[in-house]
Amino acid sequence: MEYFKHIFGMFNAMLSDPWIIALIFGGSLAGLLVGVIPGLTATMALALLINISYGMPLERAVAFLLSVYVGATSGGLCSAIMINIPGTPAAAATALDGFQLAKQGKGGIAIGTGFIASFIGTVFSILVMLCLTPVLYLIAMKFGHWEMFLLALFGIMICGSLSTDKDPIKGWIVGFIGFAMSTVGMEAIYAYPRFTFGSLQLKGGVPLIATLIGIFGISEVIGVLQETVPYKIEGKIGRIIPPLGMFFKKLLPATIRSGIIGVIIGIIPGAGEDVGAWMAYDMGKRRSKDGDKFGTGVLEGVVCPEVANNAVIGGAMIPLLTLAIPGSPPAAMFLAAMNLHGVRPGPMLNIENPTFLPMVGAALMCASLAMLFWGLLLAKPMVGILKIKREILLPLVVPLTVIGAYSGGIRIFDVYLMLFAGVIGYCLRQMDYPLAPMVLGLILGPLADVSFRQALMQSRGQFLPLLERPIGLLLILAVIWIVWGGIKNARAYYKKIDAESEAG
Amino acid sequence: MPAKTQKLAGADFITAIILMALGAALSVDALRMRVYRTFLISPGFFPLILGALFIFFGLFLIYRSSRRGGYADAARILTPDNIKKSLVSPVFKKGFTVFLLILAYVALLGKIEFVYLSMGYLILTFLFLNAGKWYLVIPVAVIAPVLVQLAFVHLFKIPMP
């Protein structure tokens, strides 16, 4: 009861601070606008706007960044529906039915339904997060060094598997490259400089925010500008707000099912909003009475991915808050920002900063309300933004990425590193390598390194005592299961393309 | 061998070589790191494992791609003619020029005032990308950096490069 009082208290405190309200509405709008533009993702929105939060008190920074996150995750649906190009990867599944609806002149209804679904998805995930996180804090307290190492490894493996449907091995490789990048700089146990090549600036390690901006910002700008495909807005947008009776009567089962899927995918480290959306769409297609009509323009085909991709947000916060393991790439950006504000998520967070979880819950709740408000109010002007050429919008992002990278450490060196990371990100994208595992590797690398060595210190260099720990054993089995499944999937993928190539 | 499979196999083969080189470099450097009490808890232990993993993944990719004619395709990809053909393709040229413009922008940071540098970068990029009529895009290129500077320095109190 005390816990829920805390949450309502925090909610009231947020609503009584005009600055926080302004930041929530501003952040939500900024996120929506970034999300609408194809090529700019939620991760990029956070990367670009993170520097604004540096000088803010913690509550305002949390409220602002989470509003950007919620807004950007939802904003992608406008372009997915109106031009068949998802604004963010999270909205890719929405395009399948949304675009068909737009062609039938029901684009507005599809957008309105999408925003309502996104709101419900976020609220559902907040409730799950608020109920589940305190329980998981207790479980996380039982995790020792060995379990933390295995959890980091599990995160990389599952993220590598889920972020590419073709070849999970590519995801794993990229995840381990992230691990390797994280070893640059002074290591945490003996302060020994590793792979610094005599550079003083590299002794502090690879700057996380600058690297993420490079990987998600610069690589995206070059990639999108290189292959700009002209697009046109399909049909008239029409009415925005759908009949709410129909929404709750017909779409409720799909909403609940997709919310559950989204939260579960969110909890899985690094999986992200796009994975949640696709899984919910696929499940909707199989479970719905109108499953055979999916892809022809049914509202359920918009609701399933939109509820799920927003439900990932609250889900992704659960491992982030309890174990410092982000559930999605934008959550990784949020984690990086919180580290800068002196908050260290993990099992001890509840003791060190007991108001943080209620703060996140209240901020997400306000952010989802702001997103719904802007989404329904500004749907038409937001579609109008799509008329602006990407050749104008994307170059404007570059100075923002430079400021973002520079302001983290006030060093030009970080900007150079950002550009380098951008080139690596671009090359990996071109070769079909997913980038999310790399981000997760970069974040979890120090945890994996230190935990592994400390676990070995505790066991006096013996592996056998480590294998006797039940949670550890469970995680080892999970990793083996992921590797087994991944190899099977990769073999099936290659068999399929072999067969396709031979046939045609 | 089917074309699509062979193309993937060629790319896999090249990636495998790079990965193995990275793994070897990482391992060698890790083995040179100082040992405290035992190697298992020393700074080089974790990078050594990663190096070994990269070599393992490299070998796995080589094995997989070789079964699909990866070596032959990698050799074809890396012929001077093929490289030249890729370099002169319009998509590559466009991407490379966009990159060069960003590189020049970043290289000149701190040497030219941020606002003027950003204006120059945006004007050149807009003109190169043929983003629109010059009398429309040049005002955007001039106004945007001024607004960004004003917002970040005065509103958000963030220092400029």
Q: Is A406 in Cβ contact with B161 (below 8 Å)?
A: yes
Q: How many residues does chain A have?
A: 504
Helix axes A356-377, A58-83, angle to 10 degrees: 40
**pTM of this prediction?**
0.86
Residue B7 has pLDDT above 70, yes or no: no
In angstroms, the CA A338 to CA B118 distance is 30
> What confidence tier does B82 reach under pLDDT thresholds 50, 70, 90?
confident
Establish if B4 touches chain A: CB-CB under 8 angstroms.
yes
Percent of chain A, pLDDT > 90? 44
Cα–Cα distance, A183 to A268 (Å, whole number): 24
- What does DSSP say about strands A185-186 and A193-194: parallel, antiparallel, or unpaired? antiparallel
Over residues A444-448, mean pLDDT? 91
Supply the pLDDT for residue A217. 85
A170 has pLDDT over 80: yes
With beta carbons under 8 A apart, name residues in chain B contacting A169: 57, 60-61
Among A116-125, A165-174, A255-264, B111-120, the least confident range: A165-174
Inter-chain CB proximity B8 and A55 less than 8 Å: no
pLDDT for A120: 95
Q: Which residue of A has its CA nearest to B151?
A: A52
Residue A436 confidence (pLDDT) above 90: no
Q: Residue A128 — pLDDT band, cuts 50, 70, 90?
A: very high
Token code pair at residue B111? 């040497």
Predicted pLDDT at A464: 83
pLDDT of residue A172: 94
Contact: B98, A449; criterion CB under 8 Å: no
Q: How far apart, in whole angstroms, are the C-alpha atoms of residue B103 and residue A423?
A: 11
pLDDT at B55: 97
For chain B, which residues make up each domain, given as ranges? 3-87, 90-155
Residue-level pLDDT at A439: 87
Give the burial class of A338: count Cβ atoms within 10 A of its Cβ; 0-12 exposed, 13-18 middle, 19 or more buried. Answer: buried
Contact assignment for A225 to B98 by CB distance below 8 Å? yes
Q: Choose among A190, A222, A416: nearest Cβ to B99.
A: A222
State the average pLDDT for chain B. 89
- The distance of A394 to chain B (nearest Cα, Å) reads 10
- Determine contact, residues B65/B13, Cβ cutoff 8 Å: yes
Interface contact A396-B144, CB threshold 8 A = yes
The reported pLDDT for the residue numbered A181 is: 95
**Which uninterrupted H or E stretch holds A452?**
helix A436-458
| Average pLDDT over every residue of B100-105 | 96
* Distance of residue A473 Cα from the nearest chain B Cα, in angstroms: 20
A399/B121 Cβ within 8 A = yes
* pLDDT, tens digit (0-9, with 9 covering 90-100), for A157-169: 988 888 876 788 9
Average pLDDT over residues A42-69: 89
Sign of CA dihedral B130, B132, A45, B156: positive
Q: What is the pLDDT of residue A225?
A: 86
The arithmetic mean of pLDDT across residues A20-42, rounded, is 89
Residues of A in contact with B70 (CB under 8 A): none
> Has residue B52 got a pLDDT over 90?
yes
Q: Give the model's confidence band at A421: pLDDT under 50 very low, under 70 low, under 90 confident, else very high.
A: very high
Judge whether residue A93 has pLDDT over 60.
yes
Share of chain A above pLDDT 70, in %: 98
Q: The tokens of A454 are what?
A: 């400390």
Q: Name the token pair of A444.
A: 């979890």
* Torsion A85-A87-A92-A95 (CA) sign: negative
At A504, the pLDDT band (50, 70, 90 cuts) reads low
Give the model's pLDDT for residue B4. Answer: 52
Is B88 an 8 Å CB contact of chain A? no
Q: Between residues A1 and A479, which one has the greater pLDDT?
A: A479
Query: Which residue in chain A is spatially nearest to B90 when comparing CA positions?
Result: A226
Q: What is the mean pLDDT of residues A279-299?
A: 89
Is B65 at the interface with chain A, CB within 8 A?
A: no
Mean pLDDT of chain A: 88
Mean pLDDT over B46-71 rounds to 91
The verdict on a CB contact (< 8 Å) between A391 and B129 is: yes
How confident is the model over A343-371, as a mean pLDDT?
91
pLDDT at A231: 67
In chain B, residues with a C-beta closer than 8 Å to the C-beta of A494 are 5, 64, 68
Comparing CB atoms, the residue among A172, A392, A403 nearest residue B160 is A403
Q: Flag if B109 and A391 touch (Cβ within 8 Å).
A: no
A91-129 b/e (C-beta count within 10 Å ≥ 16 → b) = bbbbbbbbbbbbeeebbbbbbbbbbbbbbbbbbbbbebb
Coil/strand/helix, residue A196: coil
- Ranking A6-10, A124-128, A170-174, A416-420 by mean pLDDT, the lowest is A6-10
In whole angstroms, what separates CA A282 from the centre of its chain? Answer: 20
Of B38, B47, B132, the CB nearest to A389: B132
Strand segments (E) across A169-280: 185-186, 193-194
pLDDT digits (tens, 9 = 90+) for A478-494: 999 999 998 888 888 88
Task: Measure in Å the smallest separation between the Cα of A478 and chain B Cα atoms.
Answer: 19
Range of lowest pLDDT (A38-42, A132-136, A252-256, A420-424): A38-42
Instruction: Give A186's strand partners.
Output: A193
Tell me, yes or no, if B143 comes closer than 8 A to chain A by beta carbon: no
Phi, psi of B109, rounded to the nearest 5 degrees: -60, 135
Predicted local confidence at residue A79, as pLDDT: 86
Q: What is the DSSP string of A377-428?
A: HSHHHHHHHTTS-HHHHHHHHHHHHHHHHHHHHT-HHHHHHHHHHHHHHHHH
Cβ contact, residue pair B50, A183, below 8 Å: yes
Place of tokens 């959550």: A331
Q: Which of A38, A39, A43, A36 is nearest to A438 (CA)?
A: A43
pLDDT at A47 over 90: no
Shortest alpha-carbon distance between residue B79 and chain A (Å): 19
Please answer yes or no on whether B122 and A173 come within 8 Å at the CB atom. Answer: no
Confidence at residue A8, expressed as pLDDT on a 0 to 100 scale? 84
Least reliable range by pLDDT among A222-226, A318-322, A355-359, A364-368: A222-226
pLDDT above 70 (res B2): no
| Confidence band for B145, pLDDT divided at 50, 70 and 90 | very high
Q: What is the pLDDT of residues A194-244, one digit of tens each?
A: 999 888 889 988 988 889 889 888 988 898 888 766 666 666 777 888 887
Amino acid at position B72, single letter: A
- Give the Cα-Cα-Cα angle A432, A435, A441 (nearest 5 degrees): 135
Dist CA A357 CA A331 (whole Å): 14
Q: What is the pLDDT of residues A139-159, one digit of tens each?
A: 888 889 999 999 999 999 988
Q: Residue A188's closest chain B neighbor by CA?
A: B43
Query: What are B41's strand-pairing partners?
Result: none
Residue type, B20: M
Residue in B11, B126, B148 closest to A400 by CB: B148
Q: Which residues of B touch A179 (CB under 8 A)?
A: 46, 50
Chain A residue numbers touching B131 (CB-CB < 8 A): 389, 391-392, 395
Query: How many CB atoms are closer than 10 A to CB A251?
Result: 24
User: What pLDDT is recorded for position B27?
Assistant: 96
Q: Measure A19 CA to nearest chain B CA, in Å.
A: 13
CB contact under 8 A, A501 and B64: no
Which residue of B98, B114, B143, B154 is the best one to mutate when testing the A interface, meaning the one whose CB has the most A CBs within 10 A? Answer: B98
Distance of residue A188 Cα from the nearest chain B Cα, in angstroms: 9
Residue A40 binned pLDDT confidence (cut-offs 50, 70, 90): confident
> Does pLDDT of A100 surpass 60?
yes
pLDDT of residue B5: 55
pLDDT band at B6 (very low <50, low <70, confident <90, very high): low
Could you give the dihedral angle defined by the CA atoms of residues B66, A162, A434 and A66, in that order, rounded to the nearest 10 degrees? -170
Contacts of A502 in chain B (CB under 8 A): 2
Q: Compute the distance between CA of residue A195 and CA of residue B27 in angstroms, rounded to an integer.
A: 11
* Domain residue spans of chain A: 2-503
B-chain residue closest to A399, CA distance: B118
List the 11-30 stretch of B: residues with Cβ below 8 A of A: 11, 15, 19, 22, 26, 29
User: B40 and A400 in contact by Cβ < 8 A?
Assistant: no
Q: Is the pLDDT of residue B155 over 90?
A: no
Classify residue A298 by its DSSP letter: -
Residue with tokens 């960003």: B102
CB pair distance less than 8 Å for B94 and A226: yes
| Amino acid (one-letter) located at A50 | I
Residue A270 pLDDT level (bands cut at 50, 70, 90): confident
Q: Which of residues 36-55 of B touch A (CB under 8 A)?
A: 36, 38, 40-47, 50, 53-54
